[in-house]
Amino acid sequence: MPRETAEEAVKIKVADYPRIVVPPPGPRAKRVIARDKEWTSTSYIKEYPLVIAGGSGAMVEDVDGNRYIDWMAGIAVSSTGYNHPKVVAAIREAAGKFLHICGTDFYYEPMADLCERLGKLAPGKGKYRVFLTNSGTEALDGAIKLARYHTKRPGLIAFEGAFHGRTYGAMSVTCSKVHQRAGFGPFLPGVTHLPFDNPYRVPFDPAQVKRLFSSVLPPNEVAAVIMEPIQGEGGYVFPRPEFLKFWRKVCDEQRRKA
């Protein structure tokens, strides 16, 4: 390997390595945090005092030059990491044409392409139509509206430990921490929460569903069962495969009876 190439490789390796140059949060980070606390809503819950300046791959650097490995990937939504060259190139190309057009009012080819691809990737048989939203909580509210409108049923089944968002529909099926709901009631009517399957604490008992359907909630009044296949804020709980199969079977049976 040529000398210049070897030195360059060493520099890249060192630059990509985690480092702490000043105890975090550093002086620049403290100034940003103070301004943020003065002007932003208290609804933003910060995990720790990281003030990001940039990143590359799995590495993130704060405004004081401290560098870390990012294990969160934007809370599991940025699987390509920071500054992926293909992602950056696609954003630059799109921005060079136009930054925004309202898909509700007008057409543009990338939106049609994306919806077609998502529709073809969706599991199960049949043709799907795709509705794009700005956030998970908006998607959840849209799902509730669609389920109730399509089935003409009011009931919703959700699970303890779930977090689905901050809008009223999403809060109504959220059941993670009491402070997320305190002071905001009343919520959507017709929501029933059941225990989530936790193999390490309290495994789900199918008899609970039988009791629910026989004494509280008629199954033919349930519009949707809403769950996280893996709970996040609830404690990163991985349910047993049997739990998911059980609810898939319940939904299929009730759909056939409709």
| Mean pLDDT confidence for 216-227 | 95
Residue 5 is predicted with a pLDDT of 54
Residue 95 is predicted with a pLDDT of 94
Express each pLDDT in 227-256 by its tens digit.
999 998 888 899 999 999 999 999 999 888
What does the alpha-carbon distance between residue 143 and residue 170 come to, in Å, rounded to a whole number?
10
**Amino acid code (one letter) for 195:** P
186 prior amide bond cis, ω within 30: yes
Residue 76 is predicted with a pLDDT of 79
Express each pLDDT in 92-141 by its tens digit.
999 999 988 999 999 999 999 999 999 999 988 888 899 999 999 999 99
Residue with the bigger pLDDT between 225 and 258: it is 225
What does the alpha-carbon distance between residue 157 and residue 226 come to, in Å, rounded to a whole number?
6
Q: Are 161 and 196 in contact (CB under 8 A)?
A: yes
Q: Are 139 and 130 in contact (CB under 8 A)?
A: no
Which residues have a Cβ under 8 Å from the Cβ of 156 and sit 6 or more positions away?
144, 147, 172, 173, 188, 190, 191, 192, 222, 223, 224, 225, 226
| Mean pLDDT confidence for 210-239 | 93
**Coil, strand or helix at 164:** coil
Residue 15 is predicted with a pLDDT of 58
Q: For residues 134-159, b (16+ Cβ closer than 10 Å) or e, as one string? A: eeebbbbbebbeebbeebebebbbbb
Residue 173 has pLDDT above 60, yes or no: yes
Strands (E) across the chain are located at 52-56, 59-62, 67-69, 155-159, 191-194, 222-225
Residue 197 has pLDDT above 50, yes or no: yes
Match 């056939």 to its residue by tokens.
256
CATH code for 13-85? 3.90.1150.10
**Amino acid code (one letter) for 249:** K
Express each pLDDT in 2-53 by its tens digit.
444 555 444 445 457 899 999 999 999 999 999 999 999 988 888 889 999 9
What architecture is the 136-257 domain classified under in CATH?
3-Layer(aba) Sandwich (3.40)
∠ at Cα 238 (119, 166), nearest 5°? 65
Q: CATH 3.90.1150.10 in the chain: give the residue spans.
A: 13-85
Q: CATH 3.40.640.10 in the chain: give the residue spans.
A: 136-257
